[in-house]
Amino acid sequence: MKQATFHGGIHPSYFKEFTSHKKLIQSNPPSQVILPMQQHIGAPCEPIVKKGDVVKLGQKIGEPKGFVSAPIHASVSGKVVAVEPRLHPDGRKVLSVVIESDGLDTLHEDIKPQGNLESLSPEKIRDIVGEAGVVGLGGATFPTKVKLSPPPEKKIDAVILNGAECEPYLTADHRIMVERAEDVVYGLKALLKALDVQKGYIGIEDNKLDAIEAVKKAVGNDANIEIYSLHTKYPQGAEKQLIYAVTGREVPSGGLPMDAGAVVQNVGTAVAIADAIKIGMPLVERVVTVTGSVIKEPQNLLVRLGTPFKEIIDQCGGFAKNPGKLIMGGPMMGMAQFSIEVPVLKGTSGILALDEEEANVPDPTPCIRCGKCVNVCPINLLPLYISAYSLNDAFDKAEEYHALDCIECGSCSFICPSRRPLVPSIRVAKREILAKKRKAK
């Protein structure tokens, strides 16, 4: 087993102890699910059911439009009660299919095992993964099928499973590796076959020794799969940092992992792929870590997609005190929510509730040029300058300082003693630069 890491990064408090030893538990079946037609990066789906239709569990209800897209399936059986825009965790209203559960979970007849891995061709695996609506479950929600279909000129020679889970608080991937190690490895083998690659890697942060042990056992003496114990440091799980830690290669600026010959998938995604092949079950459920100082009983729950946050939180005993902030995902890159009525999506790795004090956003003071943001940036950017240029509307200068290469990991904002709004201002710069580029075309 190899020990690996990357340059830069930070050591936030992890708070994983709330849930790291809590077994995965099936959440109560929801009475109603809200399934937005946008649960992945890329073009939204088009609903193929209408109000009044009766649907079965696992039935496709959203058809992908465009190459970068993934179908959406019913996560309960029952009746479609609405097809209308509903509040989405990203803050907008998005066309959603709302299904009233009949409590029966009647399985759709298409759902059946797809045969064993040896008998499946690479094309067939890609199709199964695509049809099952699998997307990157780490939070980025990039459609997996697209990653499995690299252009022929890109030579892929490494498939890396991301078990770093470097975000504080989150333990979903950790529990998946401990409890479903066999399927993690099965999923990796399916990925290797689909991409016709020999070498598979699994990177796990060294604060999850039980996960490393479990996965090691599942790998057995398969010489083609290597486990990397990764230094516990944020953002160890960022694609570029992981690729560097494992292969020593850098993804070119402006490029994709495949430009470095690598495909990265989250461990949860591998399990979803295993389910899609072994049972034939599309992605209708995922593990969500429900945690934070104001959640009464933090848990790792297996949640049906479309379940409102509120129901999930209630199952965890509700709020111990008034929450100040509710976050979808982890505290470093997650998205703050206005409402607890939004549904769990394919990309919901965690529901994190912070108390009012933790939610307090301190006022920024002038930059003291301490250079700490420079030292922690894993991309080697100069966040203080990009941010200053952005705040002065000097977006050309921000571009010169490589604003577009920022992976928005938040390390710079985390460390800044002056509480500068570094990431938000860099995001603004990125948006402006891209808008200008589009115009120029």
Partner 1 sequence: MSDMFLTASSSPHVRSKEDVSIIMRDVVIALLPAFICSIYFFGMKALTLTLVAVLVAVGTEALIQKLMKKPITINDWSAVVTGVLLAFNLPAGAPWWIALIGSVFAIAIVKHAFGGIGQNFMNPALAARAFLLASWPTRMTAAAFTWPGGADAVATATPLELLKGAEGVVGELPSIASLFMGNVAGTIGETSALALIIGGAYLLYRKVITWRIPTIYIGTVAVLTFIFGQDGLFTGNVLYHLFAGGLMLGAFYMATDYSSSPVTPRGQIIYALGCGIITSAIRLWGGYPEGVSYSILLMNVAAPLIDKYTMPKIYGEVKANA
Annotated binding site for [4Fe-4S] cluster: 367, 370, 373, 377, 406, 409, 412, 416
Window of 85-93, 127-135, 354-362, 363-371 that interacts with ligand SF4 by CB under 6 A: 363-371
Written as six digits, the tokens of 196 are 């016709």
Tokens matching residue 60: 């496709």
Sketch the per residue contact string, 231 through 250, with partner 1: x for CB under 8 A, - otherwise: ---------x---x-----x
CA distance 183 to 84: 36
The count of residues interacting with partner 1 (CB under 8 A) is: 69
Distance CA 315, CA 282 (A): 25
Stretch that binds ligand SF4, among 54-62, 331-339, 371-379, 432-440 (CB under 6 A): 371-379
Which positions from 363 through 422 interact with partner 1, judged by CB under 8 A? 365-371, 374-375, 378-382, 384, 401-402, 405, 408, 410, 413-419, 421
The interaxial angle of helices 209-219 and 181-195, nearest 10 deg, is 60
Give kind and range of the element (H or E) at residue 278: helix 267-278
For residue 389, give both structure tokens: 């240029």
In the complex, least distance from residue 206 CB atom to ligand SF4, rounded to whole angstroms: 22
| Cis? peptide before 235, omega within 30° of 0 | yes
Picked from partner 1, ligand SF4, none, the partner binding residue 142 (CB below 5 to 8 A depending on kind) is none
Smaller CB separation from partner 1, 186 or 385: 385
331 makes contact, choosing from partner 1, ligand SF4, none, with CB < 5 to 8 Å by partner type, with partner 1
Cα Rg of the chain, angstroms: 21
From 66-74, 141-149, 277-285, 362-370, span contacting partner 1 (CB under 8 A): 362-370
Q: Does 427 bind partner 1 (CB under 8 A)?
A: yes
Q: Which is nearer to partner 1, 55 or 416 (CB)?
A: 416
- DSSP, residue by residue, 194-226: HHT-S-EEEEEETT-HHHHHHHHHHHTT-TTEE
Distance, CA of 191 to CA of 194 (rounded, Å): 5
Q: Which residues are known binding-site members?
A: 367, 370, 373, 377, 406, 409, 412, 416
For residues 44 and 65, the answer to whether their CB atoms sit within 8 Å is yes
Residue 206 to residue 440: CA distance in whole angstroms = 46
- In this chain, which of 174, 189, 233, 325 binds partner 1, going by CB under 8 A? 325
Minimum CB separation from partner 1 for residue 96, in Å?
A: 20
Interaction between residue 91 and partner 1 (CB under 8 A): yes
Q: Is 323 in the site for partner 1 (CB under 8 A)?
A: yes
Report the distance separating Cα 8 and Cα 29, nearest Å: 43
Q: Which stretch binds partner 1 (CB under 8 A): 55-63, 73-81, 172-180, 323-331?
A: 323-331
Binding at 12: pick from ligand SF4, partner 1, none (beta carbon under 5-8 Å per type)? partner 1
Q: For residue 44, give the DSSP letter.
A: P
Q: Tell me if 338 contacts partner 1 by CB under 8 A.
A: yes
Distance CA 265, CA 305 (A): 20
Closest CA to 168 of 352, 372, 374: 352
DSSP H or E run through 365: none
Using CB under 6 A, pick the residue from 407, 421, 424, 432 that binds ligand SF4: 407
Residue ranges in contact with ligand SF4 by CB under 6 A: 367-373, 376-379, 381, 383-384, 406-412, 415-418, 420, 422-423, 426
